Amino acid sequence: MVKDYLKLIRIPQWIKNFFVFVPLLFSLHLFDKDYLILSLKAFIVFSLASSFVYVVNDIIDIEADKAHPKKKNRPLPSGRIKKSSALILAIVLLLIVLFSYFFFNAQFISFLYGFLILNVLYSFYLKHIVILDIFSIAAGFSIRVLAGAAVIEVPVSSWLILTTMFISLFLGVMKRHSELVQVADTNKVTRKVLAKYSTNFTNQMATVAASGVIICYALYSVSQRTVSVFNTENLIYTTPFVVFGIFRYMYLEYQNNQGENTTQVMITDIPMIMTVICYVIVTILIIYKII
């Protein structure tokens, strides 16, 4: 029973909330204990907020998930957890998140509450509107980055925000593409909005989003503000990791149809794991003048 509840709150999906650490990494305060603790607290509260959203979304989509080849095995659609029990859990998680108001600054709380409102709207309405559904997913990641900057009260580069937005759009498009492929294989439409997409359209969107990620990050690494803040032009050498990561993800989706679950890819694909680790290590070495 406990295992089912842990699956319901989607702990593996908490990896998405590591986006709140992005501003900390580029703030030159990564090894500052006070800044690190604040970011950890932000990560925890965003993880609980995400779990609340996942529970609410599963409650809403319980019937649709029963028709999904993979989602039908989740605790709610499979009947292992009652709908009433899931609703109580959602209320408890929401109360905990709302209570965090007393432990963070007002700007961070505004982003946190904005994240909740956005995702609730997504669960009930926005996910049914073509294109806007993907932008809603992307906005969630961008809010995480902005909240991560707000909690430690540091500015964040506009290029970094744009990079985050395009990465988020890219992942959202890959998710829709994977769902389209599954629909074609099973002839079961699990999302109404999928009828408004096509594989050709999502392929073009993915190309645009992937290009946006690479261009924005490259421009961020060589921008005058970046060079001035870090006092080095060497950040450009981290760009190949970003390019490889994008291409690897596209390969996994187009060749193996693994793009629906971002978390699964990030924790199971060895080349992707090594790319992320190498990127973080090299970035730290460059920014913090360890090399």
DSSP string of 80-113, one letter each residue: SS-HHHHHHHHHHHHHHHHHGGGGS-HHHHHHHH
pLDDT, greater one: 187 or 32: 32
Give me the pLDDT at residue 179, please.
Answer: 81
Lowest mean pLDDT among 36-40, 46-50, 135-139, 214-218: 135-139
CA–CA separation, 129 and 125 (whole Å): 7
Lowest mean pLDDT among 101-115, 175-189, 202-216: 175-189
Domain boundary among 119, 134, 156: 156
Give me the pLDDT at residue 185, please.
Answer: 59
* Mean pLDDT, residues 36-60: 92
Q: What is the pLDDT of residues 60-91, one digit of tens each?
A: 877 776 666 677 777 777 768 787 888 888 89
224 and 258, same domain (yes or no)? yes
Q: What is the pLDDT of residues 127-137, one digit of tens each?
A: 888 899 899 98
Structure tokens at 37: 């603790």
Domain boundary among 134, 156, 178: 156
Would you say residue 119 has pLDDT above 70? yes
141 and 280, same domain (yes or no)? no
* Mean pLDDT, residues 193-209: 88
Q: How confident is the model at residue 196 (pLDDT cuts 50, 70, 90)?
A: confident
Q: Confirm if 137 and 171 have CB atoms less than 8 A apart.
A: yes
Q: Confirm if 194 and 177 have CB atoms less than 8 A apart.
A: no
The b/e string for 82-108 (b: 16+ C-beta within 10 A; e otherwise) is: eeeebeebbeebbeebeebeeebeeeb
44 and 184, same domain (yes or no)? no
Q: Write phi, then psi, for 206 (nearest 5 degrees).
A: -65, -40
Residue 46 belongs to domain spanning: 1-156
219 and 88, same domain (yes or no)? no
Give me the pLDDT at residue 291, please.
Answer: 59
Q: Which of 125, 111, 126, 92 is nearest to 42 (CA)?
A: 111
For the packed helices 270-287 and 239-256, what is the interaxial angle rounded to 10 degrees? 170
CA–CA separation, 96 and 91 (whole Å): 9
CA–CA separation, 161 and 197 (whole Å): 27
CA–CA separation, 201 and 38 (whole Å): 41
pTM of the prediction? 0.88
150 and 71, same domain (yes or no)? yes
Q: What is the pLDDT of residues 236-287, one digit of tens each?
A: 999 999 999 999 999 988 887 765 567 777 778 899 999 999 999 999 999 9
Domain boundary among 132, 156, 180: 156
Q: Confirm if 132 and 174 have CB atoms less than 8 A apart.
A: no
Residues 6+ apart with CB under 8 A from 226: 157, 159, 220, 235
Q: Confirm if 173 and 194 have CB atoms less than 8 A apart.
A: no
Q: How confident is the model at residue 198 (pLDDT cuts 50, 70, 90)?
A: confident
* Mean pLDDT, residues 86-112: 90
189 and 271, same domain (yes or no)? yes
Count how many domains the chain has.
2
Give me the pLDDT at residue 242, please.
Answer: 95
CA–CA separation, 45 and 39 (whole Å): 10
Give me the pLDDT at residue 290, please.
Answer: 72
Give me the pLDDT at residue 184, please.
Answer: 65
Give me the pLDDT at residue 62, please.
Answer: 76
124 and 225, same domain (yes or no)? no
- Whichever domain contains 5, its CATH number is 1.10.357.140
Q: What is the pLDDT of residues 159-194, one digit of tens each?
A: 888 999 999 999 889 888 888 877 665 555 566 778
* Mean pLDDT, residues 206-233: 93
CA dihedral 187, 193, 196, 197 (to 10 degrees): -70
30 and 172, same domain (yes or no)? no
Structure tokens at 234: 């060497």
257 and 204, same domain (yes or no)? yes
Residues 6+ apart with CB under 8 A from 241: 275, 278, 279, 282
Q: How many CB atoms lie within 10 A of CB 111?
A: 23
233 and 251, same domain (yes or no)? yes
Locus of tokens 């890819």? 265
First to last CA, the chain: 50
Q: How many CB atoms lie within 10 A of CB 66?
A: 15
Give me the pLDDT at residue 216, please.
Answer: 95
139 and 190, same domain (yes or no)? no
Would you say residue 123 has pLDDT above 90? no
98 and 208, same domain (yes or no)? no
